[in-house]
Amino acid sequence: MLEVLTIPTYIILGIASFFAGLLNALAGGGTFFTLPALLYVGLPPVSANATNASVLLPGYLGTVFGLRNSLDSINKRQLAILMSIVVVGAIIGSYALINTSDKLFRELAPFLILLATFLFISGPRITKFKESASKNSFLERVGVFAVSGYGGYFNGGLGIALMAIFSMSGNQNLKQMLALKSLFSLLLTSISVIAFSLAELIHWPLALGMMFFSVLGGYSGSYIARKVSSQKLNILIVFVGLSVSVLLFIN
């Protein structure tokens, strides 16, 4: 853990959190800012990833609240089954991170960010893959389990991966997909944060401050969305993701 919290440390993380919240509100990709910033200021890799997960929680909670009405049309039994699968997957993923050494996670980090970048790039194409298919509950459950395990371990690209699974399993209700994505992201991230807290991996003095700036950035994003095209934002996020991956590979 960090022993000394300096003003430059707070400034760097505050700026990164603000832009992460802003991008998450517009298009996603906030992890590309916060995780590298936490690594840069000296937080151990596993602790940095755990702390980063906690920073994302307020955004997920706000989105679920905003889309709560879209959950009313979902079969409650099916929803309960999927949520149970999310819980199991998240526990497995969190347990895997807790038992990962800093050295190993540092080696995996550039690959994970590269994977998240790929998901971001291919997300719109993947979600059109089976838009005419019939609903496949088995595929959806297997996919949700796999993505939940991934999300419990590393949160980057989580929302895009969930949307892809829903679409590939034949779900054609966009509002329902968005609501499920937000609910599952909130649920599995909450479980991860609880597990990481019990394992004392989260640096709460940094996490709480970053949450504030992330929420501020998310609020600002609602205004910027009216002036900046999504295409330009997507290009920026992909550029940041690829740049961070390259820097982590080099270092």
Confidence label for 72 from pLDDT (cuts 50, 70 and 90)? confident
pLDDT at 220: 79
| pLDDT tens column, 36-67 | 899 989 999 999 999 999 998 887 887 787 77
The amino acid that residue 26 corresponds to is L
Q: Please give the full DSSP string across 113-165, using - where no structure is assigned.
A: HHHHHHHHHHHHHHTTTTTTSPP-HHHHHHHHHHHHHHHHH--TTHHHHHHHH
Would you say 22 and 217 are in contact if contact means Cβ atoms under 8 Å apart? Answer: yes
pLDDT at 222: 60
pLDDT at 132: 47
**Which has the closest alpha carbon to 37: 61, 19, 58?**
19
pLDDT at 89: 97
Comparing 110 with 250, the larger pLDDT belongs to 110
What is the model's pTM?
0.82
pLDDT at 60: 80
| pLDDT tens column, 79-138 | 999 999 999 999 999 999 999 999 999 899 888 888 877 877 775 565 555 544 456 678
pLDDT at 226: 60
Q: Rounded mean pLDDT of 189-197?
A: 96
**Which has the closest alpha carbon to 158: 143, 136, 137?**
143
Q: Please give the full DSSP string across 152-209, using - where no structure is assigned.
A: HH--TTHHHHHHHHHHHTT---HHHHHHHHHHHHHHHHHHHHHHHHHTT---HHHHHH
Tokens linked to 134: 């019939």
Confidence label for 195 from pLDDT (cuts 50, 70 and 90)? very high
Q: Considering only 88-97, 192-201, 218-227, which range has the smallest mean pLDDT? A: 218-227
Q: Where are the domains of the chain?
A: 7-250
Q: Say yes or no to pLDDT of 233 above 70.
A: no
**Which has the closest alpha carbon to 121: 24, 238, 205?**
238
Q: What is the spatial distance between Cα 162 and Cα 99, in angstroms, rounded to a whole number?
A: 25
Confidence label for 229 from pLDDT (cuts 50, 70 and 90)? low
| pLDDT tens column, 4-34 | 578 888 899 999 999 888 877 666 678 888 9
Tokens linked to 11: 């400034």
- Which residues are CB-neighbours of 233 under 8 A, at least 6 positions away? 23, 26, 27
